[in-house]
Structure 1
Amino acid sequence: MFNFRGLLKYLLLGMFIIYLLLPMALIIIGSFGKKWFGTPFPEGVTLEWFQEVFSNVMFTRALWMSLFIAAMTVAMNLLIGIPAVYAIYMSHSKMLQRFFDSVIILPIAVPPLVMGMGLIQAYNWPSFSLVGTWQILLAAHCVFTLPFMIKPIMANLHLIEWEKLNEAAESLGAGAWFKTRQVLLPNLFPGIIAGALMTFAISLGEFQLAVLLSGSLTQTYPVALYQAFYFSTGFACSATSVLLVAAVLSLWGLTLLMKFMGIKREELGM
């Protein structure tokens, strides 16, 4: 019997995958093309666009700045997020829980454009200004991505039923430092890695805050990438491909880390 519903499901799934992958495929093809103007596909094959990207000081500096900001954002959010989530979880306070829920929806409720304009007004004084520095860009990325770090960690705490583990550890005479190092953090690794992955990916590709707050020496790669489209199609495609490769390598590195720690993808909900 012909299964029309199953065929329709796979057809829609295939169309969705093509919709997602086709732009990336065209970007990669365009990065190797000599000329692409008025034709469905680029003409010729060349590597000169990649050579131009990596020889361009502005783009190499922007790439390192993006990687630095993304890595620092992950580190800062871990330092802030783990103690904050633990305190809220152990407090059993409904008011703190409501505050936690409001922080979770912050990136949706407050657009990056509004957040960036507010930071400019708050930290741009005649005698003192942080606008254009990497410090304010890092602070903005931390605020914007913090919910994506703390939500998986909170979910992980509920999943492992930390209160029971905590009572069991205390009944065996474990101290606070031992519980944190040997019990809490190992059980939180799935949530920490999931939050770190989302935080790093969002920070690496964030554009609106970066274009408002960065300066000429602190531009991130998405800002430089936006400017690349004013040079040439091939140059812009190769610059975009570099960002794609950086994201794939980051994901690959995360996969190796997960295997090293013995964490399965299913534990992260991936």
Structure 2
Amino acid sequence: MPEFLKPRRLLVAGQLVLTLVLVAFMVVPVVMSVMAGLTVNYFRGVSSGLTLKWLEQVWAMYQDSVWLSLEIALATLAITLAIGVPAAYALARSNTRWARFVEELLVLPIALPGLATALALLSVYGGWSAFRSSMWFIVAGHVVFTLPFMVRSVAAVCAGTDLRTMEEGAASLGASFTQRFLTIVLPNARPGIVAGALAVLTLSIGEFNLTWMLHTPDTKTLPVGLADAYASMRLEVGSAYTILFLLMTLPLLIAMQWLGVDPAGAQSERAAAKRQRALSQSGSPGQQTLTQPVETAR
């Protein structure tokens, strides 16, 4: 039997072909949408010429939605950092059943449809007109939706690091809880914090279902504007809006890959190998981390 007909090689070739087909199935529509936003007439194709006028039109009409989406995403990130990092640290340090119960409750909003979460918020807080008509109502919904990603990302990193031993060593040298948290916990949890932050920003900018229920005409975000553009305008305008949306989200996705993290907060093998090489060159992690509290205590 020829070499290329061996079962193992055929299996590898089949997997490669299937992967390329699936990639093409997902990528081709995106490419076509981008081309539609850059052509003068989509139905005539590239032969009609390329133009940026659709992007200029979208920016003129929806730039307020772009800035609002960024404001909401940054506000959501600030709140999830302030709440999620300490909560993740506490859950990682605790081995009680209550800690696991709280952790499961935090994941509950992910299991519910965004519309159900939005309806719950409307039924409870919809009567507060000032709050209902402000962007903070959407921020509250985004915090409920994205907080589990921050908590799980940071908790996974903290659980995989022997923080207890390092903190006990620092405490024996006189470091206070604040000093231990700032010089031991946060530096060791940084990969999880970065992963959670990128996930929160990406999810907040792209969230539609929950935002569609919570928004008002004055608080229209990027995904809601995208749906309106496709529903009420010509295809080229909606496609140009898609390009604008991709320009905002793709850098965040590329940053996740570059930093070696994924939205769930897991560290990639490449990033772990880099850290291991750095630690082996500069000394053990315990020695590095404990030197900061020692200097502080002195």
TM range (shorter): 0.7 to 0.9
Pick one of 113, 116, 140 that aligns with 1:114.
116
* Residue 198 of structure 1 pairs with residue 199 of structure 2: yes
**1:17 counterpart = 2:17:** no
Query: Which residue type is aligned with residue 32 of structure 2?
Result: L
TM-score (norm 1): 0.88
| Residue 261 of structure 1: aligned partner | none
1:176 and 2:177 are equivalent in the alignment:
yes
Residue 30 of structure 1 contacts residue 42 of structure 1 at CA under 8 Å; is this kept in 2? no
Q: Secondary structure at the match of 2:131?
A: coil
Change (3 A) 1:268 1:207: farther
Which shifted more, 171-180 or 25-34? 171-180
Partner of 1:135: 136
Distance in 1 between the 2:211 and 2:145 partners?
12
Is 1:247 the equivalent of 2:252? no
Report the CA distance between 1:47 and its aligned residue: 1.2
Shift of 1:105: 4.0
Report if the CA contact (8 A) 2:92-2:156 is conserved.
no
Q: In the TM superposition, what is the alpha-carbon distance from 1:134 to its structure 2 partner?
A: 0.6
What is residue 67 of structure 1 aligned with on the other side?
70
Residue deviations 1:155-182, cap 9 Å, x none?
0011112112212222333222221111
Q: Is the 8 A contact 2:65 2:219 kept in 1?
A: yes
Q: Distance in 2 between matches of 1:86 and 1:42?
A: 58
Give 5+ residue unaligned stretches, structure 1: 259-263
Contact 2:39–2:45 under 8 Å retained in 1: no
Q: Which segment drifts farther, 112-121 or 249-258?
A: 249-258
Deviations along 1:219-238, one digit per CA (max 9) or x if unpaired, are: 10100111111211111111
Partner Cα distance (2:73, 2:202) in 1:
8
Question: What residue is the counterpart of 1:186 in the other structure?
Answer: 187
1: CA distance, partners of 2:48 / 2:82: 50
Does the 8 A contact of 1:113 with 1:208 survive in 2?
Answer: yes
| CA drift at 1:136 | 0.8
Please name the residue that 2:233 is paired with: 231
CA separation of 1:68 and 1:268: change in aligned 2, threshold 3 A: farther
* Aligned counterpart, 1:94: 97
Q: Distance in 2 between matches of 1:268 and 1:103?
A: 27
Shift of the alpha carbon at 1:253?
6.1
- Looking at structure 1, the residues matched to 129 and 243 of structure 2 have their Cα atoms a distance apart, in angstroms, of 38
Aligned residue in 2 for 1:163: 164
Task: Look up the match of 1:222.
Answer: 223
Whether 1:85 and 2:84 are equivalent positions in the alignment is no
Of 159-168 and 25-34, the range deviating more from structure 2 = 159-168
- How far apart, CA to CA, are the structure 1 residues paired with 2:114 and 2:255? 29
State percent identity of aligned pairs. 27
Deviations 1:17-60 (A, max 9, x none): 112211211111111111123x676732111101111222xx10
Unaligned runs of 5+ in 2: 261-266, 274-298
> Which amino acid in structure 2 is aligned with residue 11 of structure 1?
V
Higher share in helix:
2
Q: Which whole-Å CA distance do the structure 2 matches of 1:193 and 1:268 have between them?
A: 14
Match for residue 29 of structure 1 among 26, 32, 35: 35
Task: Determine which structure has more spread, i.e. the larger CA radius of gyration.
Answer: 2
**Match of 1:7?**
13
Q: What CA RMSD, in Å, does the superposition of the two structures yield over aligned residues?
A: 2.3
Question: CA shift at 1:67, angstroms?
Answer: 1.0
* Count, aligned residues: 259
1:209 equivalent in alignment to 2:210:
yes
Deviation at 1:11, TM superposition (A): 0.8
Aligned to 1:44: 49
- Judging changes above 3 Å, is the alpha-carbon distance between structure 1 residues 8 and 252 closer, same or farther for their aligned structure 2 residues? closer
